[in-house]
């Protein structure tokens, strides 16, 4: 087979990630050997592969949908924002430095094209099909010259492009037409057609518009996916609905009841891997909400301070909003607090940071006997251990090195009273450990909550990935999709309007990551 497809979008958050995952699961269920690929991802939600490489969590989720082990080849370039204007560049799973947006798009991005094409070709030589995910919109004409993730990679691989549009936002026909019309003739040749996402209502009412769109563009629509709640799993960024739809924004009050456990997550700046709380939200009787005011901690049974790409900035934010004092009061009253990664560092006594914020010496909240020093080398690991008498698996992504000077051992961190801290992301996905931890929280909070004995986070995740596969299988023209993947772009697609983007960089041969690193 050795085919492929690029799933692009009319906008960010049009549904590219879940559509890519759905196609991967549909193909995997058909017995097709398939892998996901995203040349360049911008996200604070990342994952560590078994070989110790950092990639976007969305690509790890898509690999699970494809039933394959995630690798750095699936996301060779990861950008982790540190501000509105700069990001840490992670190349082939390892950080290679900070760079401004202007510096990255000013030519260095194009130097990575050989590397990402090389990764894609290696995947194509291993799998029957590769399903690529684009980023943002392919019609961002200001960035087209240096594009390596949308039409740049499609041109290099000669992959057909399926453009996804979120009809729930409105204007989907204009978005499809405008996206295509803004592309150059050479780029338009690869745009095979469209996929409508998040439709509510009677599809027959949409069909006249789809026919008109085909008449205007010469391109068909390959499916209309219905709106489904809670499918945004492992998104790149932004607060989200969890597995059971229990993650809520702070304005939503949790239900009242002695058998309900209420979890408040501090919505710190540059929050990373907020997916850590998904496993809590998957538990029946646990309500999770994101908060940004001190008064919202008052009725919480557990407060989570999550990971962040800006530990010192998060510390300042907690103090400015009165949340730091509220956390200190909770600790003094013996009410549960959990710090994960950057949140763990914030709870310590002292931070020495000449790497991330370059703020130098900063006092932490002093709730745990821990001193943190930021190292230039990032820790990337997949640890396995034991806590509360149960086996725990997790993953680590951090520059801060913790010197734990007391308390009870807790994974790689410690516990003092009801304040817990660890660098381990994903630990709450270990079912037996999560149940024991929530039992401890309920006891300290004086709640009658008892964790369900049979909740399996892994099973729930598999069920959700199957739902994504069902969406594709039941609501897309799968025969036509398979034809695209196997045979490439249909011939005779018309040029519908003069495109104005500059010529893209020429695709070269695959280069070693070291060559791309030198360009950075």
User: Any idea what the CATH number is for the domain that residue 66 is in?
Assistant: 3.40.50.300
Same domain, 486 and 422: no
Residues 50 and 99 in one domain: yes
**Residues contacting 515, CB < 8 A, separation 6+:** 114, 115
pTM over 0.85, yes/no: yes
Query: Do 354 and 218 share a structural domain?
Result: no
The pLDDT of 22-35, averaged and rounded, is 98
Q: Which of 420, 449, 478 is the last residue of a domain?
A: 449
Strands 220-226 and 191-199: parallel
Q: Is the pLDDT of residue 82 over 60?
A: yes
Tell whether 192 and 322 lie within a shared domain: no
Position 247 scores a pLDDT of 44
Of 393, 416, 449, which residue is a domain's last? 449
Q: Is 456 within the bounds of a domain?
A: no
Q: Residue 107: which pLDDT band, with cuts at 50, 70 and 90? A: low
Query: Once rounded to an integer, what is the mean pLDDT over residues 339-343?
Result: 98
Which one is catalytic: 398, 399, 423, 425?
425
Specify whether the CB–CB gap between 220 and 191 falls below 8 A: no
pLDDT over 90 (residue 192) = yes
Annotated catalytic residue 425: yes
Q: Tell me if 246 is assigned to some domain.
A: no
Answer yes or no: are the C-beta atoms of 203 and 172 closer than 8 Å: no
Co-location of 304 and 416 in the same domain: yes
Q: Which of 132, 266, 341, 414 is catalytic?
A: 341
Contact yes or no for 172/10 (Cβ under 8 A): yes
Q: In this structure, are 404 and 480 located in the same domain?
A: no
**pLDDT tens track for 376-415:** 999 999 999 999 999 999 999 999 999 999 999 999 999 9
- Side by side, which strands form the sheet with 286-291? 247-248, 286-291, 261-266, 302-305, 337-340, 419-422, 413-416, 408-410
Residue 432 lies in a domain: yes
Q: Mean pLDDT in the chain? A: 90
Residue 461 lies in a domain: no
| Tens digits of residue pLDDT in 122-163 | 999 999 999 999 999 999 999 898 899 999 999 999 999 999
Q: Are 162 and 7 in contact (CB under 8 A)?
A: yes
Same domain, 400 and 277: yes
Is the domain of 280 the same as that of 170?
no
High-pLDDT (> 90) share of the chain, %: 82
Q: Which residue has the tokens 């538990």?
A: 283
What percentage of the chain carries pLDDT values higher than 70?
A: 88
List the domain range (segments joined by +) for residue 139: 3-232+467-519
- Above 70 in pLDDT, residue 509? no
* 205-226: pLDDT as tens digits: 999 999 999 999 999 999 999 9
Flag whether 210 is in a domain.
Answer: yes
Flag whether 138 is in a domain: yes
298 and 160 co-located in one domain: no
Let me know whether 56 and 111 are in one domain.
yes
Compute the distance between CA of residue 126 and CA of residue 441 in angstroms, rounded to an integer: 46
pLDDT of residue 244: 39
Q: Does the pLDDT at position 511 exceed 70?
A: no
245 falls within a domain:
no
Q: How confident is the model at residue 249 (pLDDT cuts 50, 70, 90)?
A: very low
Q: Of 449, 475, 491, at which residue does a domain stop?
A: 449
Q: Are residues 315 and 431 in the same domain?
A: yes
Better-predicted residue by pLDDT, 169 or 232: 169
How many domains are contained in the chain?
2
Flag whether 378 is in a domain.
yes
Quote the tokens at residue 3.
Answer: 């085919």
Q: 494-512 burial by CB neighbour count: b if 16+ within 10 A, else e?
A: eebeebebeebbebeeebe
Same domain, 309 and 176: no
């Amino acid at each position: 087979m050795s085919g492929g497809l690029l799933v692009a979008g009319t906008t960010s958050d049009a549904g590219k990630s879940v559509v890519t995952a759905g196609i991967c699961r549909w193909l995997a269920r058909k017995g097709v050997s398939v892998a996901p690929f995203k040349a360049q991802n911008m996200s604070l939600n990342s994952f560590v592969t078994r070989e110790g490489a950092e990639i976007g969590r969305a690509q790890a989720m898509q690999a699970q949908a494809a039933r394959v082990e995630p690798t750095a080849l699936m996301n060779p370039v990861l950008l982790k924002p540190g501000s509105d204007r700069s990001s840490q560049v992670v190349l082939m799973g390892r950080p290679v430095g900070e760079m401004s947006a202007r510096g990255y798009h000013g030519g260095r991005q194009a130097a990575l094209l050989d590397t990402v094409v090389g990764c894609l070709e290696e995947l194509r030589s291993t799998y029957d099909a590769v399903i690529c995910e684009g980023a943002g919109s392919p019609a961002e004409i200001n960035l087209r010259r240096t594009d390596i993730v949308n039409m740049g990679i499609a041109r290099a691989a000669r992959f057909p492009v399926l453009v996804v549009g979120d009809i729930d936002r409105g204007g989907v026909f204009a978005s499809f037409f405008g996206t295509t019309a803004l592309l150059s003739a050479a780029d338009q040749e690869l745009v095979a057609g469209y996929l409508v996402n998040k439709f509510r209502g009677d599809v027959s009412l949409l069909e006249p518009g789809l026919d008109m769109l085909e008449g205007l563009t010469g391109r068909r629509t390959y499916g209309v996916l219905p709106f489904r709640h809670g499918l945004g799993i492992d998104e790149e960024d932004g607060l989200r609905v969890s597995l059971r739809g229990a993650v809520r924004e702070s304005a939503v009050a949790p239900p009242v009841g002695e058998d309900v456990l209420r979890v408040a997550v501090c919505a710190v700046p540059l929050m990373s891997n907020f997916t850590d709380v998904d496993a809590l939200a998957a538990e029946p009787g646990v309500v999770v909400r994101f908060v940004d005011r001190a008064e919202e901690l008052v009725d919480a049974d557990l407060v989570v301070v999550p990971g962040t790409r800006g530990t010192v900035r998060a510390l300042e934010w907690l103090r400015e909003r009165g949340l730091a004092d509220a956390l200190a009061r909770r600790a003094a009253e013996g009410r549960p607090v959990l710090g994960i990664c950057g949140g763990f560092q914030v709870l310590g006594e002292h931070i020495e940071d000449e790497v991330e914020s370059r703020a130098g010496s900063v006092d932490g909240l002093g709730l745990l006997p821990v001193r943190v020093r930021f190292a230039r080398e990032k820790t990337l690991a997949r640890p396995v251990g034991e806590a509360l008498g149960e086996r725990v698996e997790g993953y680590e992504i951090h520059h801060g090195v913790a010197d734990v000077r007391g308390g009870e051992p807790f994974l790689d961190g410690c516990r003092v009273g009801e304040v817990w801290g660890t660098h381990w992301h994903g630990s709450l996905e270990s079912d037996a450990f999560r149940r024991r931890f929530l039992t401890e929280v309920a006891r300290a909070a004086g709640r009658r909550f008892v964790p369900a004995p049979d909740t399996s986070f892994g099973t729930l995740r598999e069920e959700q990935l199957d739902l994504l596969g069902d969406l594709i299988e039941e609501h897309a023209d799968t025969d036509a999709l398979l034809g695209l993947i196997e045979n490439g772009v249909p011939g005779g697609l018309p040029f519908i309007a003069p495109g104005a983007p500059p010529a893209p960089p020429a695709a070269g041969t695959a280069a070693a990551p070291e060559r791309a690193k030198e360009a950075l």
